[in-house]
């Protein structure tokens, strides 16, 4: 009888970021501007890489895909977030919530693998410069990017499957501004231990393996930089690598803090703020970081602007 009295959830209500209507209007304008910068920056980066002859090497090939994933996963979260900020009833359908979580995990997982691939690319370019063109052939580039997207799909299927295998009943109020794993699992009226365990283990293993590859690559890169005779060469290499390390720190630091810990230690307000960084702010910062610290990108941009 108790089971029959439960009402299965067909839609979710998102609590949003803040409850103040006046503050929501200000934040709406701010995040609309950030989203516009995100699309402008990442689409510009993709256009430059596709059309500039000076940016036709493996590093920029991977960077183009990084910009694509940034634009995609920001677009999965931000438009709905902006609409809800101006709505009295912040609703999302059950299927819409599942789709949002699936594609968000897909592109975030892909970005995790892409950042790792980019670290390996920098290692080969700096530590084996004479063999770089031979090792990083176009076929290998395509395979590495393909593996990154495949890894994103697999991790997304696991995360989404583990989250939505739970039964949601009675309460449908998600205390977040998008459909994320921890707040959804908190609404489950069934035992979520295995789902929480899979989420924790998968996030921890992927994060640890990716960071291990990045760490080993950059230990070897730093060793190679220290042996360089030319100070100008050291400066150029350090400028390129520091951009990548900054992206790694921002992306992995915020994502690991949210996902690589038990759901029981989830803090609603604190994690909402941190989620803003890897869902909305970091996709805007990535093209800025790479373009401002890269003379080839800046020269290609100036050339494109002068032609227009």
- Chain centroid to CA 305: how far? 29
Say if residue 190's pLDDT is above 70: yes
**β-bridge mates for residue 91, sequence order:** 13
pLDDT (tens digit per residue) in 125-164: 888 888 998 999 999 999 999 999 999 999 999 999 989 9
Confidence (pLDDT) at 144:
96
Instruction: Tell me which H or E stretch contains 233.
Output: helix 231-259
Lowest mean pLDDT among 13-27, 112-126, 233-247: 233-247
Residue 169 has pLDDT above 80, yes or no: no
- Is 300 domain-assigned? no
Is residue 307 a part of any domain in this protein?
no
In this structure, is residue 1 part of a structural domain?
Answer: no
| Domain that residue 241 falls in | 9-295
Helix (H/G/I), strand (E/B), else coil: 10: coil
Q: Which residue has the higher pLDDT, 149 or 250?
A: 149
| Res 46: pLDDT | 94
Classify 168 as helix, strand or coil.
strand
Residue 138 lies in a domain: yes
Nearest Cα to Cα of residue 284 among 260, 240, 251: 251
Residue 72 lies in a domain: yes
Domain count, the chain: 1
pLDDT-based confidence at residue 181 (cuts at 50, 70, 90): confident
* pLDDT tens track for 65-105: 999 999 998 999 999 999 999 888 889 999 999 999 999 99
Q: Looking at the domain assignment, is residue 235 inside a domain?
A: yes
Cβ atoms of 49 and 129 within 8 Å: the answer is no
CATH code at 198? 1.20.1070.10
| Structure confidence at residue 262 as a pLDDT band (50, 70, 90) | low
Residue 210 to residues 59, 88, 176, 302, Cα–Cα distance (Å): 18, 41, 28, 35
Backbone φ and ψ for 226, nearest 5 degrees, come out as -65, -25
pLDDT at 4 over 60: no
What is the widest separation between alpha-carbon atoms in the chain? 79
Question: What pLDDT shows up at residue 91?
Answer: 92
3 band by pLDDT with thresholds 50, 70 and 90:
very low
Element (H, E) at 65: helix 58-85
**pLDDT the model gives residue 267:** 64
**What does pTM read for this prediction?**
0.89
Q: How far is residue 138 from each of residues 46, 52, 57, 59, 126, measured CA to CA in Å? A: 18, 17, 9, 11, 18
> What letter does residue 279 receive in the DSSP assignment?
I
Whether 270 shows a pLDDT value over 80: the answer reads: no
Closest among 306, 305, 208, 189 to 256, alpha carbons compared:
208
Residue 275 lies in a domain: yes
Percent of the chain's residues with pLDDT above 90: 39
């Amino acid at each position: 009888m108790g089971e029959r009295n439960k009402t299965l959830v067909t839609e979710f209500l998102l609590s949003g970021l803040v409850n103040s209507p006046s503050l929501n209007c200000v934040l709406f304008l701010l995040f609309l501007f950030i989203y516009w910068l995100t699309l402008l920056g990442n689409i510009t980066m993709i256009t430059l890489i596709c059309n500039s002859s000076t940016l036709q090497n493996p590093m920029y090939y991977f960077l183009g895909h990084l910009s694509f994933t940034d634009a995609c996963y920001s677009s999965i979260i931000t438009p709905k977030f902006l609409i809800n900020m101006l709505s009295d009833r912040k609703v999302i359908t059950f299927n819409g919530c599942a789709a949002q979580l699936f594609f968000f995990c897909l592109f975030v997982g892909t970005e995790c693998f892409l950042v790792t691939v980019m670290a390996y690319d920098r290692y080969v370019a700096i530590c084996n410069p004479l063999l770089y063109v031979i090792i990083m052939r176009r076929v290998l580039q395509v395979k590495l990017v393909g593996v990154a997207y495949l890894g994103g799909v697999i991790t997304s299927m696991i995360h989404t499957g583990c989250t939505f295998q739970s039964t949601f009943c009675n309460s449908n109020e998600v205390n977040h501004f998008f459909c994320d794993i921890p707040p959804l699992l908190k609404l489950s009226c069934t035992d979520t231990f295995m789902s929480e365990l899979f989420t924790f283990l998968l996030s921890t293993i992927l994060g640890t393996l990716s960071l291990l590859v990045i760490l080993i690559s950059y230990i070897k890169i730093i060793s190679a930089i220290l042996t360089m005779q030319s100070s100008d060469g050291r400066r150029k290499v350090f400028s390129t690598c520091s951009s990548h390390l900054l992206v790694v720190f921002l992306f992995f630091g915020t994502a690991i803090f949210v996902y690589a810990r038990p759901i029981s230690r989830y803090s609603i307000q604190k994690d909402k703020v941190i989620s803003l960084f890897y869902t909305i702010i970091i996709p805007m910062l990535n093209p800025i970081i790479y373009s401002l610290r890269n003379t080839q990108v800046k020269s290609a941009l100036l050339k494109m602007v002068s032609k227009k």
